[in-house]
Structures are given as C-alpha cells and as structure tokens.
Homo-oligomer: A and B are copies of this chain.
Amino acid sequence: MAVTDIARRTYDHNFRLDPIVRSLLDTDFYKLLMLQMIRHIHSDVQATFALINRTQTVRLAEVIDEAELRAQLDHARTVRFTKKELIWLAGNTFYGKQQMFAPDFISWLADFSLPEYDLRKVDGQYELRFEGPWTHTTMWEIPALTIINELRSRSALRDKGKFALDVLYARAKARLWEKVERLRELPDLVLSDFGTRRRHGFLWQRWCVEALKEGLDNRFIGTSNVLLAMDADLEAIGTNAHELPMVAAARAESDEGLARAPYQVLEEWRAHYNGNLLIALPDAFGTTAFLRDAPDWLADWTGFRPDSAPPIEGGEQIIRWWQERGVDPRTRLLIFSDGMDIDTIEQTYRHFHGRVRMSFGWGTNLTNDFRGCDPDGAPGLEPISLVCKVVSADGRPAVKLSDNPVKATGEPEEIARYLRVFGSAGQVEKAVSV
C-alpha cells in the first residue's frame, strides 16, 4: 500500500535517536563466556579498555559528530538485558551443553548496565576510554566498536540521493551473493559470521547473516552475534579472546610469572568450563613462543584459533606441533578468523582440506564490504582497522604482541620487555587493512 502512514511519518520526524545498540545481546558470544569467568574468578580486577584506530589516515573526530556519538554511548548505557533474553540465555543449549550460564550469573546480568565512559577529541581522533571493574568495562568493547563504525557509515551516506542509496545496497547484495556462490563450491566448508565489531550497520549484518543462512545452508554454522543467534535460531559461536592472557600477563609480578601467564589462563578456562570450549588462542605474545613452551596437555584440546599469523603458515606451524606430539591433526580443529575473505578462505580450505578439521570465522569482509558499490565513488565506506583493547589491568600496562608487529599494542618499553621474555621468533609483518 503506497498510502503514507501519517502517524508513522510524524513519529519518525520526531525520532530523537535511531539507536545503534538495540540490545546487550548485540555483542560477541565470547564476551559473555569470558564475562562469566571474569565475574567468578576475577571480580576484583580493574581493567581499562581504550579505542585504538590503527587507520590513522581516517580522522574519526572530523567524520563523526561528537554530540551524536555521546547520544549513542549514553543510549547504550540505558539498555538492559530483557526478560526474554535472559530466559533464552538460561534455557538455550550452547555447543550442545545445557546451562552454559549459571543461574547466579543470569541474575547478575539482570542488573547489568554499561559503565561510564571518558571521551575526548585529540588531534582529529577520539580518545574513548572505559575505566572500572573488568566485569563491566569488558562489555564496552563491542558496543563501542559498533557505534563508531555505524556512525561512520551513516555519515558517509548522509548526503546520498535515494537512487544512489538503492544502487549501493543492490550492488553490495550482489557482491555478497557472488561470494556465496563461490563458497558453495567447497563441499565441507564450515563457516560462521564473526562480523559484528566491524559491520557497516546492524541491519546490514542481519541481512548478510540471513543471506548466508539461505545460501550456504548447513555449511553456515552460526554467528558470534548473540542477538542474531537468538532471533534467527542459529548457533552462537565463540570461546575466548586476547584480553584473558593480556590481563593475566599485565598482573604478573615477575618475568617468570609473565612467561607462565598464557598457560595459567587456559587452565583457568578449562576448569571453569569443565573441559568444554577447549579452543586456544596462541598468538597473544607470538605463536612460536607459545607453542615452544606449551605444556603437553594442550595437545588434547579441541584446537586453536590462529588469529594474526598468515593462515597457511600459521596452520602448518600448529599441525607440525601436533604431529611432534603424536596427535593426528585430522582429529583437531583450526579456526581461521583474521581478515579472511573469499580468496583466502578458498586458498586455506584447499590447502588444508583432508589434513585437519577447519572452521572459518568471517568478519569484516562479510559485513562491511562495499568496495566498488558506491555509484559516486566517494570515500568513507571502506572499513578501518579499529579495535577496543584492554590497555591496563590493576594499574599495570597491558600488552599484545601478536604474530604481526603491526598489530602490537602497548607502551614501547613494555613491548620491549615482552619481546625479551617471549622472543620475537616467527613474527611476520603484514599490512593490516581490517
């Protein structure tokens, strides 16, 4: 019906805010799994998170209006977990396991809200920091990133004509569908959406996820986005992230403690989740050092998520490590999730097919690929390398080395100390686009 709905039109005109954060479930599943453990074991730890824009050429403070940014951040602080969401978290099965979240954690979530933020403009960039208990600041990571990224998209599209917009989304849909057709050629593909943090926008991510569900059928196993998992009856995907070893390392009292930190964290994880969710992230302080010093029990885990080494080299390195320990890699899982796109997924799939179980977490290039889609060819839609990382824990600086020095974060003198403790073997510099 083409009749104008006057009531709706008037409501829309008076709309003060088109909220970006619609739900506290609009976050990555691993944040909730980590949060439960943090609250249980480390509820006294203070952790500061900060926004880091590695794409310095994009001057965010000149692109995004500060008042709009504050309005979105303030709105996110008013959002609470709803009754329906908590019932779902309590009652759903995750990775085949019931009651992944304990009743006392669910009750605690009922009162949860995002804590205060500190925002200022410095040299064309936003300094956005979250200070306070780790149990609260950790939950800002994803909303902070989705807010900044979606405000940037909105700003890039603000002055576009209606037909230009229509063509832009039509091209982006066609572009994704071409990728889907190529992925269909990979019979044993196992793929999930990891694109929340860098997405073009919430509605676009939802479109992409639903397109994969229809187009890839059971080759598409789920999404890291908890809200989309709930709404589309998909599996929620994820385990843990770099912040666990980074905080443990920052809190270590000595260089020996620092060297032990990455493995202590995994022992805590295994104990807390009773031997479920056994995926290790090897690259926080360099995969080579991590594997060299790893305890034997780690070879019994389900697998690894190499997250900053080039996928083929990184995968081969881990396969060799398993083989040296007498483990058949075909019984183990590698999850590739670092800046993957159609070409690297195909190459990695073909390279390892039959030699190891594989799963792909497809992120930015799934939910924010508008290359060549804008009829005006204007800039502003290309994704940027924006992260929100823990920068200190209990007042001590936090560091991430990764396998790619370009992705390292932390103060230079601390980075130097970490390199002394862990070594720099295996580091490969690679341009970071997303």
Chain A residues with CB under 8 Å of chain B are 1-3, 5, 7, 82-84, 87-88, 90-92, 162-163, 165-166, 173, 230-231, 233
Provide the bound-state CA to CA distance between A88 and B231, in Å.
13
Q: How far is the CB of A162 from chain B (nearest CB, A)?
A: 5
Across the A-B interface, give the 10 residue pairs with the lowest CB-CB distance, nearest first. A87-B91, A91-B91, A3-B162, A3-B166, A90-B91, A83-B233, A87-B92, A87-B88, A1-B162, A82-B233
Question: Which residues of B sit under 8 angstroms from A233, Cβ to Cβ?
Answer: 82-84
Question: Which of B5, B7, B83, B87 contacts A87 (CB under 8 A)?
Answer: B87
Question: Can you list 25 A-B pairs with a CB-CB distance of less than 8 A?
Answer: A1-B162, A1-B165, A1-B166, A2-B162, A3-B162, A3-B163, A3-B165, A3-B166, A5-B166, A7-B173, A82-B233, A83-B92, A83-B233, A84-B88, A84-B230, A84-B231, A84-B233, A87-B87, A87-B88, A87-B91, A87-B92, A88-B88, A88-B91, A90-B91, A91-B91
Question: Which residues of B sit under 8 angstroms from A88, Cβ to Cβ?
Answer: 84, 87-88, 91
Number of copies: 2
Q: How far is the CB of A341 from chain B (nearest CB, A)?
A: 25
Chain A, interface SS category: helix
Provide the bound-state CA to CA distance between A82 and B92, in Å.
12
Question: Which residues of B sit under 8 angstroms from A230, Cβ to Cβ?
Answer: 84
Given contact pairs A1-B162, A3-B163, A91-B91, a sample of 6 additional A-B residue pairs in the complex whose CB atoms are under 8 Å apart: A1-B165, A2-B162, A3-B166, A84-B230, A87-B87, A88-B91
Provide the bound-state CA to CA distance between A354 and B83, in Å.
33
Provide the bound-state CA to CA distance between A166 and B9, in Å.
14
Question: Which residues of B sit under 8 angstroms from A163, Cβ to Cβ?
Answer: 3
Q: How far is the CB of A236 from chain B (nearest CB, A)?
A: 12
Question: Which residues of B sit under 8 angstroms from A165, Cβ to Cβ?
Answer: 1, 3
Provide the bound-state CA to CA distance between A7 and B88, in Å.
33
